[in-house]
Chain A
Amino acid sequence: MQGRQLLVKIRPPLNMLNPIVILQSIVSGLLMGGIFALFGVGFSLTWGVMKVINIAHAAFGIMASYIAYWGLTLYGIDPVLSLCLSLPLLFVTGLLIHRFLIQPITRSRDVVVASMILTFGLAIVLENIMLFAWSPDERLITTAYSSQVIFIGDIIIKVSNLIGFILSLMGILAIYLFLYRTCTGKAVRATWQDPEGAALQGINLRRVSMITFGIAIASAGAGGVAMAYMYSFNPPVHNLWLIFLFLVVIVGGVGSVIGSAIAGLMIGLITGLSGAFFPMQWVNVLLFGLLMGILLIKPEGLFKK
């Protein structure tokens, strides 16, 4: 039911031939796609670098949504500012979870499956902690500027959505700069391209994995706050986002930042556009039909060389 709301929101009236409607749905779709992209980049990072499919990825994002929500309602702290607290917190949480939960299972024969089972459990634990702390009620972040809109021609953009989108893009840019401009970031890329080759250069794989995990969890936090600007949320909603994460990674290719980013925007765009023309059920049929098609034709993702 949460999914319906999430998608219905961006669905303008059924007026197919009106170019404004089409443009409006393109814009709404892209705004949503930004969040898919940011969530997807972090998800694909742990998957690619250490073969850990983190089922709890989106749950960490919702966690940050709640921290932002609390900050705002209890202390009047702007959600963007609350990221200054939640990002380092989630980063450290990521390091600890890696040290005490992920690291021990990397010795298992099938890290992918072991990690999925482990993080599935973790997701359930997180969800229940959140249910306990914040109840299953849906929350919405409403700031002073939430109701403001800007017009570009006839197209309406909510300021809060725009902030969420910019936040997503900045998150992706930060990850990109880390991976391509810093020495540690290059070591992360080296590790996912050839772990043994990386070890032979003196790269400490354990340390690289730990940092990667911390960054992925922190980026989920940024995604969670960006999301909270656009949609209402409650603890179980991370399950819905998770499905979209798989979609993003499979379309974009595992471990590809640019691929995931483009895939996220693309999926948002398709969702937005098709939402303008088809009933909601068909949007999902279309999206996941696309997913299966890609798995059959190009299982390594659209953007992998």
Chain B
Amino acid sequence: MLRTEGLNVFYDELQALIEVSIEVHAEDLLVIIGSNGAGKTTLLRTISGLLRPREGKIFFQGEAIEEEPTDRICMRGIVQVPEGRKLFPQMTVRENLEMGAYLSTARGTLADRFQGVFQIFSVLEERLKQFAGTLSGGEQQMLAIGRALMAGPRLLMLDEPTLGLSPKVASEIYAILAKLHQGGMSLLLVSQDVLQALRIASRAYVIENGRVIMENSGQELLRNPKVKEAYLGI
């Protein structure tokens, strides 16, 4: 569904991604793990068109998209829940969700979309008139995911969606992601929460210093001694 080929991405002279090739199959829940500064956020930003690769290609459903602007890529159905959420703090929960559906006119009405999101995150329905900036961290993360779902994504990319959340809320979010996956959605999940992420993953990559160093099923990686040592501390 999504394939990158030999991505080289630079910040001025600093190379953040080196020959990164990954593939997300339809109905995958692909997890990317890696320590701080490994290049995970850089990869997602490049896929969304916020950064341009110096070399390499990105294909989505067979078409090259690495030259396209972010709104075109979004129109194709690649929707990202970015690191730090990037909500609109002085807009209400309702308005934030509306912005998620900014492009979509075809697939279902706005009201259906709202209902779909409320079924997953019922807290949002109670807080429609509240400003996003005044929500708690967990609620904000739910809003960020809800906003992305409003677009009806073909591929949902999430960058550390459980950062800073309590273990309970984090587990809830993982359960929701697993459920979306079972419902047939394709997901690309970046996470530091290696144990929980790999448990729900269908496949996973490990990125270190801008390179992909391992690729396997989630279960296999959980058993891998190197992963155990480096990321799980056992």
Binding site for B on A (CB under 8 A): 183, 186-187, 189-190, 193-194, 196-205, 305
Question: Cα distance A38–B195 when bound, in Å?
Answer: 56
Query: What are 10 contact pairs spanning A and B, CB under 8 A?
Result: A186-B98, A189-B90, A190-B99, A194-B89, A197-B88, A199-B74, A200-B48, A200-B80, A203-B71, A205-B71
Tell me whether A193 and B103 are in contact (CB under 8 A). Answer: no
- Indicate the size class of the contact surface on chain B: 20 to 34
| Chain B contact residues: helix, strand, loop or mixed | loop
> Measured between C-beta atoms, what is the minimum distance from B51 to chain A in Å?
11
Q: CB-CB contacts of B163-189 with A at 8 A, as 1s and 0s?
A: 000000000000000000000000000
> Measured between C-beta atoms, what is the minimum distance from B46 to chain A in Å?
13
Tell me whether B102 and A193 are in contact (CB under 8 A). Answer: no
Tell me whether A186 and B71 are in contact (CB under 8 A). Answer: no
Tell me whether B71 and A187 are in contact (CB under 8 A). Answer: no
Question: Cα distance A187–B91 when bound, in Å?
Answer: 11
Question: Cα distance A305–B88 when bound, in Å?
Answer: 14
Chain B residues numbered 81-108 whose CB sits less than 8 Å from any CB in chain A:
82, 85-91, 95, 98-100, 102-103
Instruction: Say if the beta carbon of B141 comes within 8 Å of chain A.
Output: no
- Contact A200:B86 (CB < 8 A) given known A186-B95, A190-B91: yes
Instruction: Say if the beta carbon of B50 comes within 8 Å of chain A.
Output: yes
Instruction: Say if the beta carbon of B151 comes within 8 Å of chain A.
Output: yes
Binding site for A on B (CB under 8 A): 48, 50, 69-71, 74-75, 79-80, 82, 85-91, 95, 98-100, 102-103, 147, 151
Tell me whether A202 and B102 are in contact (CB under 8 A). Answer: yes
Q: A189, A194, A196, A203: which contacts B102 (Cβ < 8 A)?
A: A203
* Residue among A189, A194, A305 with max Cβ neighbours from chain B (10 Å): A194
- Contact A189:B91 (CB < 8 A) given known A201-B100, A202-B151, A203-B99: yes
* Residue among B86, B91, B99, B103 with max Cβ neighbours from chain A (10 Å): B99
Question: Cα distance A194–B74 when bound, in Å?
Answer: 16
Q: What are the 3 closest A-B residue pairs judged by CB atoms, nearest first?
A: A197-B86, A202-B74, A202-B103
Q: A190, A194, A202: which contacts B71 (Cβ < 8 A)?
A: A202
Question: Cα distance A16–B100 when bound, in Å?
Answer: 57
